[in-house]
Structure 1
């Protein structure tokens, strides 16, 4: 694996930060009180991907996303606009729609048949005169922030003034432009997997450059020494070029041998694998043959839900179908290797023997993530958990 010389690496942490050379402490990966603060200050204000606009092409088509105790429905209106709402009836808090996707002319509550238009307006209430406090104009569905970025639908529960997805990905706009994200279509349904790990452990591992040659023999065979990382303010980038030396692994060799030319990509991208991790818990894996996304959604302090979907441009070539399957086989192995790693790291985070660990200067992505966590939650600087109730007391560390 190739790294830039330490003296040439950008310092991603303020020089005055006394914690710049240290990891986040272990208690942040297990503590229930800290978890609640993290959900409020980091997860609720963050953008989360729901689907692609191609997944909801006609009025009434919707996709849902469930996370941190909320259910959100992104739906296309009669005016062709994509909106998002809390999936909650304003009458008795009943969930309006079930499942990951569907289509509806109206959103009708299955409990008492209150009916909402696709733009969220409340227009139907049985026995309307029975509700003296009811103001129809004020009881529409609660809107959720929406951003359409290159064809992908993102939602945000709380606007804290943070950057848009477009702003976060700004440094890489020209690099991803040839992949024609707007034209992508889903080639696999949403897949979900639970993992017995804190959500940060998934993201830390995704951006960890030093474990590649140690734990991922397949990626090392494919990339050789070309694997590289860098950290932008809100995005980590990893990349590697496929080598020409035939791999000893059959699926890796099939991918190398049969990968067809992607006419929409420049020569520099024909054998390039790109990985982008967006703050705080999403990633795009961009290959010449397809584009994957993954989220690691927190369930509890020590469990997470991985949510994945695969997209591609329409391509019926036999070679493309073969390499997409080979891609899946390769990454299935990588995912199994990573699962083994992060589950054991999670166990170590709970040990009284662990407080913090040093971060190398080459670990620019881990440094960047830790800095942003500490900026939002100053107590994350503490090497040991404070006394219970700390989150209710004045925030003295700010």
Structure 2
């Protein structure tokens, strides 16, 4: 980023931190396992936030659909006959049945498997068996319930409740950095994988934006980046990055990746050997490499369970060197994922001890500090070191904290 953009990032984070008297301290351990806190953050943090469903290339023709399950909802993204992409709750307006099953598919019409109510691909209710039985039914008002949708550089985002900035505005400070990668032209490589983890989603998110553990727990990344790993926090996005160094790694896979990674002509010189990471508030991440990108979501399932959902995308490139680089990238990051899995489990286990309440955050831990400040703003109970009596989330509405 330019110096002017850097100053804007620092100012945005500084404003957040200035208003938080508990800046410099982590969230208390109890918020990583408490059912009431989980209910509060699902309502105040997750439901109003943007979530990735798929890429427009995953729904190329009319009738193609993808689903995403989170926050007790199933969201259906479908391309209509007019080629527009829309999102709806995956719920029939008759008796509440799920309309489609599975992660993806294709249909000429959306037909409920319970009573065969039929919807067009644009969500309109077009068919009701025994329609005369429903004299009060307003067909025009009984279409599928729409969900907010935004397409950002080809990626389809949805959110359950309005409020807050668009994805484009969240990522605006990094637009010039992201644009050359040509996300819109990418296609999926592989398939969506879902990895359950017995930890709170915030422990996954914290770990993703933590820079201090890289030289301690990720020897492979340290061999690749040296001491050049950086982090910064914008108002709604964390950015992390590391540039491949010239010194050959002692690991064969890493060394081969350093040697084989081919030039990508549409990328600027500074991005040719850059590994770039973005975490969009609060739980969506993009890992951007010269050879491919990965998106990852930390989907909350319960106070102590998270589903990590991820898939890779890349531009078509038949070069043998590129195919090899993508395979080596997968091998390198498979090891990183194994290391991170062990780390987040250690933290979740340790937080169960009554001896731990809150921990200090250093001035360099700007991403974690910003995350904690935002959580304290949205859920003031986050300021309490000790867990309040059960049922508190039902006694405090969202309006009480605005």
Question: What TM-score, normalized by structure 1, do the two folds share?
Answer: 0.96
Structure 1 residues 176-225: Cα deviation after superposition (integer angstroms, max 9, x where no partner):
11100111111111110100000000000000010000000000000001
Which sections of structure 2, spanning at least 5 residues, go unmatched?
1-9
Q: Which residue of 2 aligns with 1:335?
A: 337
Counterpart among 239, 242, 250 of residue 237 in structure 1: 239
Q: Which residue of 1 aligns with 2:77?
A: 74
Counterpart among 13, 16, 21 of residue 24 in structure 2: 21
Structure 1 residues 216-260: Cα deviation after superposition (integer angstroms, max 9, x where no partner):
000000000111000000000000000111111111011101000
Higher deviation after alignment, 332-341 or 343-352: 343-352
Are 1:324 and 2:320 counterparts? no
- Answer yes or no: is the 8 Å Cα contact 2:378–2:401 preserved in 1: no
SS in 2 for 1:146: strand
- Answer yes or no: is the 8 Å Cα contact 2:56–2:154 preserved in 1: yes
Q: Which residue of 2 aligns with 1:302?
A: 304
Whole-angstrom distance in 2 between the partners of 1:212 and 1:143: 42
Are 1:214 and 2:216 counterparts? yes
Whole-angstrom distance in 1 between the partners of 2:396 and 2:198: 32
Whole-angstrom distance in 1 between the partners of 2:148 and 2:323: 37
Counterpart among 171, 174, 177 of residue 172 in structure 1: 174
Name the Cα RMSD after superposition: 1.6
The Cα of 1:12 is off from its aligned counterpart by 6.0
SS in 2 for 1:63: strand
Whole-angstrom distance in 1 between the partners of 2:18 and 2:76: 43
Whole-angstrom distance in 1 between the partners of 2:353 and 2:299: 24
Are 1:153 and 2:150 counterparts? no
Q: Which residue of 1 aligns with 2:165?
A: 163
SS in 2 for 1:190: strand
Whole-angstrom distance in 2 between the partners of 1:11 and 1:104: 50
The Cα of 1:397 is off from its aligned counterpart by 7.5
The Cα of 1:13 is off from its aligned counterpart by 4.2
Q: Show the 5 A alignment for 1:192-203.
A: 192-203=194-205
Q: Which residue of 1 aligns with 2:139?
A: 136
Which sections of structure 1, spanning at least 5 residues, go unmatched?
1-6
Deviation beyond 6 Å, 4+ runs, structure 1: 7-10, 395-398
Whole-angstrom distance in 2 between the partners of 1:75 and 1:397: 36
Q: Which residue of 2 aligns with 1:378?
A: 380
- Answer yes or no: is the 8 Å Cα contact 1:9–1:361 preserved in 2: no
The Cα of 1:91 is off from its aligned counterpart by 1.0
Structure 1 residues 132-165: Cα deviation after superposition (integer angstroms, max 9, x where no partner):
3321111100100000111110001011x20000
Whole-angstrom distance in 2 between the partners of 1:77 and 1:26: 46
SS in 1 for 2:393: helix
Whole-angstrom distance in 2 between the partners of 1:325 and 1:231: 31
Q: Flag the 1:211–1:382 CA change in 2: closer, same or farther, 3 A.
A: same
Are 1:53 and 2:59 counterparts? no
- Answer yes or no: is the 8 Å Cα contact 1:9–1:362 preserved in 2: no
Whole-angstrom distance in 2 between the partners of 1:305 and 1:41: 19
Higher deviation after alignment, 36-45 or 382-391: 382-391
- Answer yes or no: is the 8 Å Cα contact 1:145–1:158 preserved in 2: yes
- Answer yes or no: is the 8 Å Cα contact 1:13–1:367 preserved in 2: no
SS in 2 for 1:370: helix
- Answer yes or no: is the 8 Å Cα contact 2:187–2:315 preserved in 1: yes
Counterpart among 384, 391, 394 of residue 393 in structure 2: 391
SS in 2 for 1:14: helix
Q: Flag the 1:67–1:330 CA change in 2: closer, same or farther, 3 A.
A: same
Whole-angstrom distance in 2 between the partners of 1:141 and 1:386: 40
The Cα of 1:92 is off from its aligned counterpart by 1.4
Whole-angstrom distance in 2 between the partners of 1:16 and 1:372: 10
The Cα of 1:104 is off from its aligned counterpart by 0.6
Q: Which residue of 2 aligns with 1:191?
A: 193
Question: What TM-score, normalized by structure 2, do the two folds share?
Answer: 0.95
Q: Flag the 1:10–1:93 CA change in 2: closer, same or farther, 3 A.
A: closer
Q: Which residue of 2 aligns with 1:4?
A: none
